[in-house]
Amino acid sequence: MTTTVSKDSTATRKRSISTAPPSMKVLAVKILFLAIVDAVAVFAMSMLFFRGDWLVLGIVAVTTLLVNIVYLSPGLLPGKYLTPGLIFLAVFQVFVVVYSLYIAFTNYGDGHNSTKEDAISAIVLQNTQRVEGSPTYRVQLVEGPGGLGLLATSPEGEVLVGTQQEPLQPLDPGAVTLDGDRAVAAEGWTSLQQQDVLQRQQEVAALQVPLSDDLADGFLRTMDARNAFVFQSVFVYDEAAGTMTDTTTDTVYADLGNGQFETEGGEVLGTGWQIVVGPENFLYPFENPRFGGALLGVAAWTFAFAILSVGLSFFLGLFLALTLNDPRMRSRKVYRVLSILPYAFPSFLSALVWLGLLNTEFGFVNEVLFGSANIPWLTDPWLAKFSVLLVNVWLGFPYMFLVCMGALQSIPEELTEAATVDGANGWQVFRGIKFPLLLVSTAPLLISSFAFNFNNFNTTYMLTRGGPRMEGVTENVGHTDLLITLVYKTAFEGGNRDYGLAAALSILIFIVVAAVSAISFRQTRALEDLH
């Protein structure tokens, strides 16, 4: 490698001394990359423009401008090297943390997924009824750029077309093909054949084409793909009062500031919208003591799990390093290679392998080792905790074994010899010299291992999914749940996803991790100063 470099430099030295201008090739590559970035940015900006997302549009515009400035102006070298990584870091690492903080203060989740306008139209659309005695429209299902639509012929013979998003609009009679008194095709629209209609039955049944811009006027719906009737929503939204009225019962639902329509009596419409709710998510455990208690249990187990995992694997690893590193053992290399196998095995598979081994009815451990016993390794609260720890130690001890072995080897032999000369026995040498030195050199690794296990999602979730479930708690909380698996389950599992609460829980983890790292790094510095 060194020789290539020197050859290169002698060759260039002969050519010139002054700084050469950038070659055409480099310039071309640079411009090509910038062009791609700009094209993508311009496309994104135009999409954002149509959606009216001014804030994001502004951010994208400023970023694109900065990128162009950095790469087109001479100088600004650090910028040229740092910008690509920093953009990714800013969006997917820093921004998402800030965004988590924001979500934690909202009611974002199932039933509160979107804006108030979306919620209103969803409520109106989801609760329609056929209007008694309404006229029958003859229809043909068509497809256009806006999706599935209805080509409708009114009883008066007027031909109209519309989709879920675009209300019915009259068509120029010249652009329509008629079959008797029913329009069957129109320019710019593809007519659906019988078998297409059958295939897309559900879509067809759900299709509601508004009669006009005002949703209260009603919709056209078809059941048989030939005849359509006017449907009107049971719910009417009163824009002036901001209330939703159920016309069948004349119940009035109002927006009381909770991101949903509700009556004074506490009746709530299922579809709400997203609002900022303040510290409500953070107060939730206090207002629901059972969940609060469960959360405390989870937090305690998270700490216990992380500490025990690190401690047990460290001591097992250290014990093995001391035991198997005897130079007189000829086979120690074999033991070493075989016992670090779990470390080389992909970690996401390990828990799944153990899932089979520990299966209650059919697993190897119960069937063969315990003679067909039915020990609930993964479904009993305490045994499940034991199993998760066992698997995690299996995963973690080879790393500790390697680390301890290296650390022990790096301790100078003279220290041991001096102590032995002074009359110390083997245990005293270990206790007084080797162990403290070992701790100093491995402390940072132990701390990062703790931080890793504190959020060790894979082992727990893949083995037990956090279960068995705690009794008496309505939320899905299990006995082996870690805080991070609880975040995941709250946000992505079950029928009631609650992003707000999940984000609040993850903020809790942020605080714990930050505190632990701050304290422990100070501690390690103290350790290092001591020695």
Q: Which of residues 69-98 bind other proteins (CB under 8 A)?
A: 77-78, 81-82, 84-86, 88-89, 91-97
Of residues 42-61, those binding other proteins (CB under 8 A): 44, 47-48, 51
Helix (H, G, I), strand (E, B) or coil at 129: strand
CB closer to other proteins, 251 vs 520: 520
CA distance 252 to 463: 49
- Cβ 275 to other proteins, closest distance in Å? 15
Residue in the structure block whose two tokens are 């199993």: 387
Told to check if 437 binds other proteins by CB under 8 A, we report no
Determine contact, residues 366/428, Cβ cutoff 8 Å.
no
Told to check if 492 binds other proteins by CB under 8 A, we report yes
Q: Kindly tell me the burial class for residue 219, based on how many C-beta atoms sit within 10 Å of its own C-beta (0-12, 13-18, 19 or more).
A: buried
* Binding-residue total with other proteins (CB under 8 A): 110
Determine how many CB atoms are found less than 10 A away from the CB of residue 379.
16
Could you tell me the two tokens for 253?
Answer: 């639902």
- Cβ 180 to other proteins, closest distance in Å? 42
- Cβ 432 to other proteins, closest distance in Å? 23
- Cβ 13 to other proteins, closest distance in Å? 5
CB closer to other proteins, 128 vs 459: 459
- Cβ 5 to other proteins, closest distance in Å? 6
Told to check if 26 binds other proteins by CB under 8 A, we report yes
CB closer to other proteins, 92 vs 382: 92
Residue type at position 231: F
Residue type at position 205: A
CA distance 208 to 230: 10
- Cβ 452 to other proteins, closest distance in Å? 5
Told to check if 524 binds other proteins by CB under 8 A, we report no
DSSP state of 217: G
Provide CB contacts within 8 A for 347, sequence distance 6+.
395, 458, 459
H and E: helices and strands count for the chain: 21, 15
Cα–chain center distance at 318 = 37
Which phi and psi (to 5°) does residue 353 adopt?
Answer: -60, -45
CB closer to other proteins, 26 vs 283: 26
**How far is the CA of 189 from the CAs of 151, 201, 426, in angstroms?**
9, 19, 89
CB closer to other proteins, 30 vs 182: 30
Q: Kindly tell me the burial class for residue 424, based on how many C-beta atoms sit within 10 Å of its own C-beta (0-12, 13-18, 19 or more).
A: middle
Q: Binder to other proteins among 117, 326, 422, 471 (CB under 8 A)? A: 326
- Cβ 16 to other proteins, closest distance in Å? 5
Told to check if 256 binds other proteins by CB under 8 A, we report no
- Cβ 35 to other proteins, closest distance in Å? 18
Told to check if 24 binds other proteins by CB under 8 A, we report no
- Cβ 251 to other proteins, closest distance in Å? 33
Closest CA to 459 of 352, 300, 299: 352
Of residues 349-368, those binding other proteins (CB under 8 A): 349-350, 352-357, 359, 361-364, 367-368
Q: Binder to other proteins among 234, 324, 473, 527 (CB under 8 A)? A: 324
Of residues 369-408, those binding other proteins (CB under 8 A): 394, 397-399, 402-403, 405-406
Residue type at position 454: F
CB closer to other proteins, 60 vs 225: 60
Determine contact, residues 327/386, Cβ cutoff 8 Å.
no
Told to check if 429 binds other proteins by CB under 8 A, we report no
